Amino acid sequence: MAENIISKDEVEKIAELSNLDVNGQEDKLSKMLSETVKYVENLNELNTSNTPITYQVTGLTNVFQNAEGKSQTLTKKEALSNAKEEKDGLFSTKAVFDR
């Protein structure tokens, strides 16, 4: 049987941090997690030396940001001009939450 990379104690610690009850399954989970880690370690064998560093894969930019850096905003008076109700220079609405 192959050696487990993740020990029973580590499984117990992970379970504690995750607030999971794994009583009686520590050995099984140790084996399963170790197999997962070994599988993921296969990625270390990939040659990535010619792969460009990628920070963002879609090529999209923030389409909502104004290129000039200056955005058009309303004055307080303009913003409140169509408000149904206004109190102390702020929008006034019905309560959302019961008290």
Q: What is the pTM of this model?
A: 0.48
Residues 34-92 pLDDT 10s: 999 999 999 999 998 998 888 877 878 777 766 666 667 889 999 999 999 999 999 99
pLDDT at 52: 85
pLDDT at 58: 83
When comparing pLDDT for 20 and 95, which is higher? 20
Reply yes or no on whether the pLDDT at 10 is more than 90.
Answer: yes
| H/E element, 82 | none
pLDDT at 76: 92
| H/E element, 91 | strand 90-91
Distances (CA, A) of 39 to 24, 28, 32, 84: 25, 17, 11, 61
Domain ranges of the chain: 1-63
Is there a contact between 15 and 33 (Cβ–Cβ < 8 Å)? no
pLDDT at 69: 62
Reply yes or no on whether the pLDDT at 3 is more than 80.
Answer: yes
